[in-house]
Amino acid sequence: MLQTLWDNRIQCVAMLLFAVGFATLLLHPNLMKKIIGLNIMDTAAYLFLTSIGYIEGRLAPIVTNASTDPARYANPLPAGLVLTGIVVSVSVTALMLALTVRLYERYHTLDLDKIYLMARQEEEGGV
Amino acid sequence: MKKKADLLAKLRRWDAGEFDLTDRLEEGFTPDEPQDSAYPWDREAPVERLERAQIRVWQRLYPYLAALLCAVTVVFLLYAVMDLPAFGQAGTPSQNEVMERYVSKGVFETGAVNLVAGVILDYRAFDTLGESHVLFTAAAAVLMLLLGAAPGRSERELEGIVSSDLIVQNTARIVVPVVLLFGVYVILNGHLGPGGGFSGGAIIGAGLILYTLAFGFARLGRYLNFKTYRIIVLGSLLFYSLSKCYSFFCGANHLETIFRTGVPGRIFSAGLILPLNLAVGTVVACTMYGFYALFQRGKI
């Protein structure tokens, strides 16, 4: 069992990185740190995908010497998927940061608990 | 601004530890205020007392529950990793006939030496079109959220900050041309080697951001203002959409390009991949710079 985990250690690191990001997302009340946590989770997903595409001893999927032997190159497909993931992650991060800016302008804090409290008071007080 | 002062006073009290989430109900309560106040939470009902207790319990339990959830998640994920095929081996289920097909036929069918570029801009160009639109939509949403927002600093203050640093300016004078040239190289080289529209566009965007940091928005605005930004981004997206959406109307046939693939390895080869890389690169570069400008001063 430990041997399997050690053989797949890069994927284990990706999972641990995912957990670190998830914990940051859940435990920090600060919105900025929540966004950082989500980005760490994204990075873990990229690491996992690229590790799936890697094959020991093969070249990057760029054809050299006009050789198109599939046994010569690593898998090009996960690289394309990671590219998609990076772009979506950048877009989502930008959107979250913009929303955070607007929240800060309204409540003058980044602490989600305080924001939640104030929003609730506004709702109940009908302000 | 009474409301703002009110909020700031609340925050100060929070930081001094004078109230937490559970003290919500005492908020606004002063001894000389009459009991029949307009605020319903001044008259504490049994239900509200229960709710207070619930909030207190939840507040104390939340970190432990969250940590437990993370631990359970990581245990399950590691358990799943144990079932995965060994790392870095050929012949695993992910290295299947799809990959073989892409590698063995990719160069003849797309003309791109870089197989990743062939996959994302020819075989799966429609996905990449959606990706560009995700980026564009995010930029539009950020624009909507931040365009009306009052920037923290005035225009003059911003100009004063960005154009007073001699070290940044002289470094930018040396670095920015190299960065922009390298970005163009990475975009144009996308089908021949590592690179492509997304990475090259990000490099050019970084160069533009460095330029504005050193010399201010006004100087870059001579070349790239909101109008040119719109024309460039929409033009690129429109070109990409037109060149890839026609297959949509042919019943998803004719996914192959009408252009010849040319001699693999030459710069003018690989059919539409080079123009599509250019389109993606300009969209990415403009979006990166647009994000920076929007967050920095609330407009592009």
pLDDT score of B97:
78
> How many other C-beta atoms lie within 10 A of the C-beta of residue B190?
29
For residue B203, being part of any structural domain is answered with: yes
Same domain, B72 and B114: no
pLDDT score of B146:
83
Q: Is the pLDDT score of B219 beyond 50?
A: yes
pLDDT score of B291:
87
pLDDT-based confidence at residue B185 (cuts at 50, 70, 90): very high
Q: Is the pLDDT score of B157 beyond 70?
A: no
For residue B65, being part of any structural domain is answered with: yes
For residue B95, being part of any structural domain is answered with: no
Torsion sign across C-alpha atoms B182, A51, B283, A105? negative
Tokens linked to B167: 């070290």
User: Taking a contact as any Cβ pair under 8 Å apart, which residues of chain B between 251 and 280 contact chain A?
Assistant: 264
Closest C-alpha among B71, B107, B202, B58 to residue A64: B107
B264 with B112: CB under 8 angstroms? Answer: yes
d(CA B2, CA B127): 51
For residue B126, being part of any structural domain is answered with: yes
Q: Is the pLDDT score of A1 beyond 80?
A: no
Contact A87 B114 (CB under 8 A): no
Give the Å distances, CA to CA, from B21 to A36, B27, B112.
Answer: 25, 10, 59
B118 vs A contacts (CB less than 8 Å): 76
Note the helical H segments in chain B: 2-15, 46-82, 97-110, 115-118, 125-147, 155-162, 166-188, 197-215, 217-221, 226-249, 273-297
Name the average pLDDT for chain B.
76
A91 vs B63, B89, B135: nearest CB: B135
pLDDT score of B159:
60
* ipTM confidence score: 0.82
**Each residue's pLDDT tens digit, B279-296:** 889 988 988 888 888 887
Contact B115 A51 (CB under 8 A): no
Q: Is the pLDDT score of A127 beyond 80?
A: no
**Each residue's pLDDT tens digit, A43-56:** 999 999 888 888 88
d(CA B236, CA A98): 25
pLDDT score of B96:
75
**Each residue's pLDDT tens digit, B119-136:** 888 777 778 888 888 888
Q: Is the pLDDT score of B60 beyond 50?
A: yes
For residue B93, being part of any structural domain is answered with: no
Same domain, B51 and B175: no
Would you call B118 an interface residue with chain A, using a CB distance cutoff of 8 Å? yes
Same domain, B22 and B159: no
pLDDT-based confidence at residue B177 (cuts at 50, 70, 90): very high
A7 vs B contacts (CB less than 8 Å): 86-87
Closest C-alpha among B236, B141, B297 to residue A94: B141
> Mean of the pLDDT values across residues B213-239?
84
B93 vs A contacts (CB less than 8 Å): none
Contacts of range B97-102, beta carbons closer than 8 Å, 24 or more positions apart: B98/A77, B99/A70, B99/A75, B99/A76, B99/A77, B100/A70, B102/A76, B102/A77
**Total domains, chain B:** 2
Q: Is the pLDDT score of A3 beyond 70?
A: yes
The answer to whether domain A2-125 has CATH 1.10.287.3510 is yes
pLDDT score of B132:
84
For residue B58, being part of any structural domain is answered with: yes
**Each residue's pLDDT tens digit, B5-35:** 766 676 666 666 555 554 444 444 444 444 4
> Mean of the pLDDT values across residues B156-167?
66
> B93-120: buried (b, 16+ CB within 10 Å) or exposed (e) per residue?
eebeeebeebbbebbebbbbbbbbbbbb
Q: Which domain holds residue B52?
A: 2-82
Predicted model pTM: 0.77
- Sorted by where each begins, the domain ranges of chain A are 2-125
d(CA A101, CA B152): 10
As a whole number of Å, the end-to-end CA separation of chain B is 29
Same domain, B122 and B187: yes
For residue B87, being part of any structural domain is answered with: no
Contact A15 B103 (CB under 8 A): no
Place of tokens 């245990």: B75
Contact B10 A118 (CB under 8 A): yes
Same domain, B13 and B154: no
Residue pairs spanning A and B at CB distance below 8 A: 184
Contact B145 A98 (CB under 8 A): yes
Q: Is the pLDDT score of A40 beyond 90?
A: yes
Q: Is the pLDDT score of B198 beyond 80?
A: yes
